Structure 1
C-alpha cells in the first residue's frame, strides 16, 4: 500500500504522461502536489521499490518511466459485489412499495 505522497505523485505523473505527453519536472511536482522536494524524492523512491516506476535517483524526475499507473488493490480489503434485485412492476399495481415507503 502506497503512502499518500507516493499515490498522489503516481496520479500526477500518469495524468501528465497521458494527457500532456510529458513527465512533470520537480518544480511542477512541487506545485501540483503541494509537497517539498525531499518528500517528493522519498515518494518516488518508494514508487521505484514497489515497482510502479523506473527511475534513477541521480536523474531528474522527468526521466521516470511509468510501469503501472494505478495503485494495486489491497487483498486485505475485499469488495462485496451485490447483485441488484430485479424489480418487477406489476400491471395491476402490485409493486407499489416505492410510493408507499418514501
Structure 2
C-alpha cells in the first residue's frame, strides 16, 4: 500500500502523462507537492521499487510510467 505522498506523486505523473503527453520534471513535482527535491527523489525511489515507474537517479527527469493506479484498490469508475 502506498503512502499518501506516494499516491499523490503517482497521480501527478499519471495526469501529466495523459494531459501533456510527457512526465513532469523533478522541479514540477516539487512545486505540485510542496516537497523538497530530496523528498521527491525518495518517493520516486519507492515508486520504482514497487514497479509503478521506471526511473534512474542519474537521469532524474526521465520518468516512465508503468502503472498509473495503486494496485489492490477498487476505484468506483473501474469495471470489475
TM-score bracket for this pair, using the shorter chain length? 0.7 to 0.9
Counterpart of 1:41 in 2: which secondary structure? helix
- Mapped to 1, the partners of 2:57 and 2:4 lie a distance apart of 20
- Mapped to 2, the partners of 1:36 and 1:60 lie a distance apart of 14
Structure 2's unaligned 5+ residue stretches are 74-80
Q: What do you get for the CA RMSD once the two structures are aligned?
A: 1.1
Give every structure 1 segment of 4 or more consecutive aligned residues whose post-TM-superposition deviation is greater than 6 Å.
Answer: none
Q: Is the 1:5–1:39 Cα contact (8 Å) retained in structure 2?
A: no
Task: Tell me which protein shows more strand as a share of its residues.
Answer: 2
**TM-score scaled by length of structure 1:** 0.67
Structure 1's unaligned 5+ residue stretches are 75-102
1:71 corresponds to which residue? 70
String of CA shifts for 1:25-70, please: whole Å, max 9, x gaps.
1111111111111110000000000010011111123x11111100
